[in-house]
Amino acid sequence: MKCRYKLNALDCANCAKKIEEALNKEDSINKAVVNFAKLTIVVDTDNKDAKKLVQDIVKRVDSDVKVMDESETNKNNIKFDIIRLLLGIIFFILSMIIHIPLIHQILIILAYIVLLFRVIKKAFLMLIRSFTIDENLLVTISCVGAYFTNNIHEGLMVITLYEIGKILEGIAVNNSRKSISDLMDIKPEYANLESNNKIIKVSPEEVNINDIIVVKKGEKIPLDGIVIEGESKLDNKALTGESRLTFVSKNSEVLSGSINMDNVLRIKVLKEYENSTVSQILSLVENATDKKAKTENFVSKAAKIYTPIILLLAILIIIILPLFPSISIHDAIYRALVFLVVSCPCAIAISVPLSYFSGIGASSKNGILIKGSNFLEASSSLKEIIFDKTGTITTGDDLNYQLEILDKEYKKDEIINYYVSGEALSNHPIAKNILNIFNDIKPKKVNDFKEISGKGITFNIKKDNIKIGSSKYCEGDTNDNGIYLNVNNKNIAKLIINDGIKKEAKETIASLKNLGINVKMFTGDSKDIALDIASKVGIDDVSYELLPKDKYELLESEIEKYNGAVAFVGDGINDAPALRIARVGISMGSIGSASAIEASDIVIMNDNLDSLLTLFKISKKTNKIIKQNLIFAIGIKVLVLILSGLGLATMWEAVFADTGVTLLTILNTTRILKNKK
């Protein structure tokens, strides 16, 4: 079973990685994922006392971190750290003012104790509990070493600036966490349930299918349902990223997470909360960091060996430098201490995962749901995008149609009823089109309904055996784009729906080409229709009359051709096989569709193709900022490390290369959250 907990007082990304590693080494834990950006931990284990097990392991890594249930509130330790810092600074200043030897020495020792207490405690516990060397030990060695090499005030300045940096770092990270949480603040807190002619406030989890709920002006719709009374306008921005309000009235389907902006609505619940749109979105985003990007995994592995190597190099500096006549042992030790201060990998350990999570959060704000940082990373390096047609490039909801009756023994109303009765049980976009066109027709009772993917449907009404689908499926002798109706092995009608092209399709495809991305279209439609649509939107390479199996096989060859850098964009219903094998499977125009979320790696919650451009913009910006952070952090550290070895850098430069660089990379990362469409 999966257990989810909160983590309190976790202020170090490197520690978060060590906690995750320690948990995954435990035999009774199948998998553990620590999310530093959201201070959460998810553990898959059969252990009955999972929380105690997790807490014991966490304590071995960081004694200050507390494991809490999701309902508990995180406590902010920054105030205590600020008070401790101010007290240490007061002792430091007094030691510089008071020159009475004994009092002067006592004040210095008190300043060291107050300022170094947290760092020494963490270093000691980490060393004895998990035999791990981390930044706390390096800072401890540096400051204590500075004291004993008679660089007392410089040692105090190092720990003071280090603590100031850690506090500012904590504030910056917390602000980033808040920004990301605000983006996904779509969970409804309660539902107004009608019960015995009364309205009572209950948790959305307590509401059942077919219950009636009331949503007042300004409230979030807590569960997916259908309006049975009232009309209003809904704000779907949290779901789709679109600021335009949506009008709903009786019989309109509404999604959880939408905000009622006008009149009172009575809604019949269609899904329990755990299967609702808002629950699926929150679950998807919560678990997005489980799938880590290559860069993130590389940083995690590098961080394990980085600190021990630095410690070894510091020892070599102490041993080798005194061999030169101009360098004393005292000077060599000082250079080694500076070397140690620089070595903390926090700037890299924090900025990389925080950048990916910020990118996922910014995408969510624009109605783009990404299942993992690996898919966000891959989106920036795509070489080809293959589009499905219906519901992707075309709207799939144009109400213009032509009905041709092939057997005059059947009346128009009877034929339409056959179409509606069968398509009412299908989820295909064309089925929805037919139901939209003939929305005033009441379907008949259907038996033995079957849907053959990519071909059509078959069912019985009384004694009649009916097929609806392509000419080939209905055993016709033509090859056109008609939707045929076959009753008892005889084609009696043909329906043609004019599938309108999305208004932004041509411009979006032109923009993709300008980005150097090759664009193709795979469709099951006939040659004439496929080529006509493709020419209108600017796609030159088209494959038509394809079954789902054909799309899969063609996509495999494209993936091999472009070394995997291929995305497939489909409706999330019939394109599941293709969506799964593409490096990035993107579902379009399937708002609230469970099959879309399940089958694809990225879900576009609105029906707009230009959201793809927003996705690529955020992806490229995220990767660009990660590269900036890595180059800046590594570059500064290497520079100061070299200067410290040459004796040209002091503790001041070392502290900037550690906490200063960390703070700057975090602030740079927050620029991702300011992304605009």
Q: What is the CATH number of the domain that holds 59?
A: 3.30.70.100
Domain end residue (candidates: 597, 615, 633): 615
Element (H, E) at 459: strand 456-461
CATH no. for residue 599?
3.40.50.1000
Query: Among residues 11, 62, 388, 499, which one is catalytic?
Result: 388
Mean pLDDT score, 82-92: 92
Residues 302 and 266 in one domain: no
**Confidence check: pLDDT of 282 > 80:** no
The answer to the question of residue 312 being in a domain is: yes
Query: In DSSP terms, which residues pair with 2 in a beta bridge?
Result: 44
Q: Does 177 lie in the same domain as 296?
A: yes
Q: Please tell me the distance from the alpha carbon of residue 532 to that of residue 498, in angstroms, as a whole number.
A: 12
Look at residue 337 in the predicted model and tell me its pLDDT.
86
Q: Is 54 within 8 Å of 5 (Cβ atoms)?
A: yes
pLDDT the model gives residue 615: 94
Residue with tokens 């993936």: 559
Q: Are 350 and 360 part of one and the same domain?
A: no
Dihedral sign for Cα 56, 62, 68, 70, please.
Answer: negative
Q: What was the pLDDT predicted at 243?
A: 66
Q: Is residue 278, in this structure, part of any structural domain at all?
A: no
Same domain, 471 and 605: no
> Between the ranges 236-240, 242-246, 270-274, 670-674, where is the mean pLDDT highest?
270-274
pLDDT at 40: 82
- For all residues of the chain together, what is the average pLDDT? 84
DSSP 8-state class, residue 657: I
When comparing pLDDT for 79 and 241, which is higher?
79
Q: Tell me, rounded to whole angstroms, the distance of Cα 143 from its chain centroid.
A: 40
171: confidence class by pLDDT, cuts 50, 70, 90: confident
Domain that holds residue 411: 401-497
Whether 293 has a pLDDT exceeding 60, the answer reads no
Whether 569 and 611 share a structural domain: yes
Q: Quick one: tokens of 544?
A: 């038509």
Contact 498, 492 (CB under 8 A): no
Q: Return the closest-CA partner of residue 289 out of 67, 54, 33.
A: 33
Backbone angles phi, psi at 502, to 5 degrees: -65, 140
Is the pLDDT at 226 greater than 90? The verdict is: yes
Which has the minimum average pLDDT: 167-171, 182-186, 382-386? 182-186
> Sorting pLDDT into bands at 50, 70 and 90, what band is 621?
very high
- Average pLDDT score over residue span 229-249: 81
3-state secondary structure of 103: helix
Q: From CA 219, how far away is CA 622, in angstroms rounded?
A: 34
Residue 4 has pLDDT above 80, yes or no: yes
Looking at the structure, tell me whether residues 546 and 608 fall in a common domain: yes
Task: Decide: helix, strand or coil at residue 561.
Answer: helix
The pLDDT of residue 516 is above 90? yes
Give the CA count within 13 Å in the CB-facing half-sphere of 456.
21
Cα–Cα distance measured from residue 81 to residue 87, given in angstroms and rounded to the nearest whole number? 10
- Is the per-residue pLDDT at 460 higher than 90? yes
DSSP E strand stretches across 463-570? 464-469, 483-487, 490-497, 518-522, 541-543, 566-570
Instruction: Please tell me what DSSP assigns to residue 422.
Output: H
The one-letter code for the residue type at 365 is: K
Radius of gyration for the alpha carbons in the chain, expressed in angstroms and rounded: 31
Mean pLDDT of 266-290: 76
Characterize the bridge pairing of strands 584-587 and 566-570.
Answer: parallel
Q: What is the 3-state secondary structure (H, E, C) of 616-636?
A: HHHHHHHHHHHHHHHHHHHHH
Residue 182: its pLDDT value, please? 58
Cβ within 8 Å of residue 425, ≥6 positions away: 446, 449, 451, 457, 459
CA distance 377 to 373: 6
Is 224 among the catalytic positions? no
What is the model's pLDDT at position 569? Answer: 93
- Strand pairing class (518-522; 401-405): unpaired
Q: State residue 501's pLDDT score.
A: 85
Last residue of one domain, picked from the residues 235, 270, 305: 270
For the domain that residue 492 is a member of, what is the CATH number? 3.40.1110.10
Could you report the per-residue pLDDT of 365-385, keeping only the tens digit for each?
888 888 888 899 999 999 999
The answer on pLDDT for 299 being more than 70 is no
Predicted local distance difference test score (pLDDT) of residue 146: 85
Please tell me whether residues 565 and 668 are part of one structural domain. Answer: no
pLDDT digits (tens, 9 = 90+) for 387-397: 988 778 887 66
Do 382 and 340 lie in one domain? The reply is: no
CA distance 107 to 102: 9
As given in the structure block, the two tokens for residue 254 are 């509404």
